[in-house]
Structure 1
Amino acid sequence: MRSGPIALRAAGAALALLLAPAAGTALAHDGVQATVTPSTTAPDTDVDIRVQGCGGTTGAAKSQAFTADSELTGRDGGYPLSGAARIRPGLEDGTYRVSVTCDGHDHHDVGTVHVKHHQQPTHRPVPVAPVRAGGGGTAAFAAPAAPGVAQTASADGLGTPYTLLGLGMAAVAAVAVAFRSSRRRRAQ
């Protein structure tokens, strides 16, 4: 009675040993992976393709989303292959599979590209007031005065207070340079 289950197990083990080389061959090519950048794009745009797992220096990427097959090139020694493709104009929104041919083998569905028509925003935000950041305070002169923002310049320029302040600072700088120059002459 025990010979039936033992024979069944022996047949299963023999079958596994027989199919193991074929399974290893199938898995040897499964390490190929394609990355499309940007992964979500609009029709009639260009994308970059990067393929890892191919041993050679050339290949091709194919997809229903591409206008033509993309030539892939790379360096020898396990480096990724790269190429570019154009997304078909008028393509429907959706996810499209990318297949790769390299090392003399086809690798189906090793990547995807998402196609989505970009919606134009109906409302574009418009800044209300200049940002008070950097530029030494020049933001106040770049835009007309907004509520809550002090306007320090008129159409004719900065005005008398700032003109006098600038002249005073220039005079102080001139006196400092003259004083320093006279001290150097005395020290020599």
Structure 2
Amino acid sequence: MRSIPLTFCAAAVVAATLVSAPAALADSESGSDPTGSGSGSRTTLSVTPPSAAPGGEVALRLDACEGKEAKGNSDVFASESRFSPAADGGLYAKARISSDASPGDHDIQIVCTDAKGTKASGRVTVTDRDQATPLAPVRAGGGGTAVRTAKEAHQDGPGTVQAVIGLALAAVAAGAVVFRRARRRRQAED
């Protein structure tokens, strides 16, 4: 009986191990050392979200760059991205996807302003503009119940109907307790 939950847990662990991270991560290249083995840490670029529609915006985060600034380019960016220090370390920039960007995967190239000219690369996916994406939660429900529920959620408290039902249920519960005690007393006397 316990083998089924154990099997599902093991499958979940294997799936989590094999699935790549949602953000696009890239390894760095140093200007003088393309393997990056000369420095103790590797520069990584993360793109959040990893895909955007034309006209959308993505956040770029660069870790382990020794400089205080960096510049990023892509053929789908509306303009060059300029990185600045983030509050928690690393460098941060935002990039707007050009309104005429073609759908598909596009490379991003980053150059740090450190002494080595450290480079990093990443990838962003441009989605088709005609692809339907929800902009807000859909108010769906059986026959308009979502709209009705939204209106009822703004009430200040229980109404008269709820108060009467609550009192009736409390009376039934009290009656059941009294009836049960009386029955036990009769059984104890017999």
TM-score by length of 1: 0.50
Residues 158 and 66 from structure 1, CA distance in 2 versus in 1: closer, same or farther, beyond 3 angstroms? same
Are the aligned partners of 2:83 and 2:91 in contact in 1 as well (CA < 8 Å)? yes
> Which of the residues 114, 117, 120 maps onto 2:132?
120
SS of 2:132's equivalent? coil
Q: Which runs of 5+ in 1 are unaligned?
A: 1-22, 132-138, 144-156, 169-188
* Equivalences, count: 120
Identify the structure with bigger relative contact order (alpha carbons < 8 Å, sequence gap 6+). 2
Cα offsets for 1:2-53 (capped at 9, x unmatched)? xxxxxxxxxxxxxxxxxxxxx9833247922211111011110111110112
Tell me if structure 1 keeps the 8 A contact 2:57–2:95.
Answer: yes
Offset at residue 56 of structure 1 (A): 1.3
Structural mapping, 1:47-66, within 5 Å: 47-66=58-77
Task: Name the one with the larger helix percent.
Answer: 1
Amino acid of the residue matched to residue 107 of structure 1? Answer: K
Which stretches of structure 1, 4 residues or longer, exceed 4 Å deviation after superposition?
139-143, 162-168
> Would you say the 8 A contact 1:57–1:75 is kept in 2?
no
**TM-score, normalised by the number of residues in structure 2:** 0.50
Percent of aligned pairs with the same amino acid: 23
The within-5 A match list for 1:28-107 is 28=38, 31-74=42-85, 79-102=89-112, 103-104=114-115, 105=117, 107=119
Q: Which runs of 5+ in 2 are unaligned?
A: 1-30, 151-158, 169-190
What is the CA distance between 1:125 and its match in structure 2? 8.1
Cα 1:86–1:167, aligned 2, differ >3 Å: closer, same or farther?
Answer: same
Question: Equivalents in 1 of 2:128, 2:80: separation in Å?
Answer: 22
